[in-house]
């Protein structure tokens, strides 16, 4: 579904991503794990068109994404849930969700998407008229995920969904990621919580200093001694 080849991304003189290649098959959860500053967020932002690569290619369903705008990439079926959620404060939960459908004009379809996300996230239905800024951290993460699902993506890019959440919410978020996969959406999962990410990932890539240092299935990497030492506290 998505193929990233020899990707290089720079911030001025800083090379944040140095020759990274990986792929995602339809229906998979693929995790990118790695320490702070390894380049994970940079890769996600480049796939979603917010940053432009210096070198390499990103191919999604036979289309080259390199020269596409961020809205065109959303329209092609890729939605991003950014690190830190970026909820629109001052807007209600329902209004935040409607922002996720900004490219759609079919009101019946928007209403149908809204009912679907309310079914998946009942708490958001209960809070639909509440200012989104007053939601708890875990509820805001659910809102950010639900807002992305409003665009009916085929591929969901999740950047650090568990960051800053209490353990009970972390488990809930990972359960939701699995449910999203089961309902047919492919997922790229960026996580610092390597243990939980590898437990639900079909395959994963370990990034270190802007490069892929290891890749394998979730169970293979969970059992890998180097991964255990560096990322699993083992
Ligand atoms: P984290 O888990 O901490 O978010 P990450 O793996 O997502 O880390 P990135 O945010 O992609 O890493 O950062 C990769 C490198 O690029 C880091 O060295 C970072 O300091 C640098 N970087 C990120 N954003 C910018 C920017 N806007 N300007 C300059 N350097 C940046």
Q: Note the pLDDT tens digit of each residue in 119-135.
A: 999 999 999 999 999 99
pLDDT bracket for residue 42 (50, 70, 90): very high
Question: Taking residues 44-62, what's their average pLDDT?
Answer: 96
**Whose Cα sits closest to atom 26 in ligand 1?**
11
Domain that holds residue 102: 2-231
pLDDT at 161 exceeding the cut of 90: yes
pLDDT at 16 exceeding the cut of 90: yes
Mutating to test ligand 1, I would choose from 9, 42, 190 the residue with most ligand atoms within 8 A of its C-beta, which is: 42
Helix (H, G, I), strand (E, B) or coil at 18: strand
Mutating to test ligand 1, I would choose from 31, 38, 81 the residue with most ligand atoms within 8 A of its C-beta, which is: 38
Mutating to test ligand 1, I would choose from 10, 20, 41 the residue with most ligand atoms within 8 A of its C-beta, which is: 41
Counting atoms of ligand 1 from 1, which one is nearest the CA of 39? 11
Question: Taking residues 72-76, what's their average pLDDT?
Answer: 94
CA of residue 205 to ligand 1 center, whole Å: 17
Helix (H, G, I), strand (E, B) or coil at 164: coil
What is the residue-averaged pLDDT of the chain? 94
14 CB under 6 A from ligand 1? yes
Structure tokens at 121: 């996230």
C-alpha–C-alpha distance, residues 119 and 28, integer Å: 23
pLDDT at 41 exceeding the cut of 80: yes
Structure tokens at 216: 């394998």
pLDDT bracket for residue 187 (50, 70, 90): very high
**Between residues 194 and 85, the one the model is more confident about:** 194
CATH number for the domain including 136? 3.40.50.300
Question: Total structural domains in the chain?
Answer: 1
């Amino acid at each position: 579904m998505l193929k990233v080849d020899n990707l290089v991304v720079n911030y001025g003189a800083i090379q944040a991503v140095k020759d990274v290649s990986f792929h995602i098959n339809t229906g998979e959860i693929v995790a990118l794990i790695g320490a702070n500053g390894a380049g994970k967020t940079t890769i996600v932002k480049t796939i979603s068109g917010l940053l432009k690569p210096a070198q390499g290619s990103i191919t999604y369903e036979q289309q080259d994404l390199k020269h596409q705008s961020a809205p065109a990439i959303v329209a092609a079926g890729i939605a991003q849930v950014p690190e830190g959620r970026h909820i629109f404060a001052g807007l209600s939960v329902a209004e935040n969700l409607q922002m996720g459908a900004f490219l759609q004009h079919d009101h019946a379809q928007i209403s149908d998407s809204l009912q679907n996300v309310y079914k998946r996230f009942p708490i958001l239905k209960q809070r639909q008229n509440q200012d989104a800024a007053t939601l708890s951290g875990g509820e805001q993460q659910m809102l950010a995920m639900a807002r992305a699902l409003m665009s009916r993506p085929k591929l969901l890019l999740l950047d650090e969904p568990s960051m800053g959440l209490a353990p009970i919410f972390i488990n809930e978020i990972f359960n939701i990621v699995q449910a999203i996969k089961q309902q047919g959406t492919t997922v790229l999962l960026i996580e610092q919580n390597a243990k939980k990410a590898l437990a639900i990932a079909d395959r994963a890539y370990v990034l270190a200093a802007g490069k892929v240092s290891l890749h394998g299935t979730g169970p293979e990497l969970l059992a890998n001694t180097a991964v255990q030492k560096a990322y699993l506290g083992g």
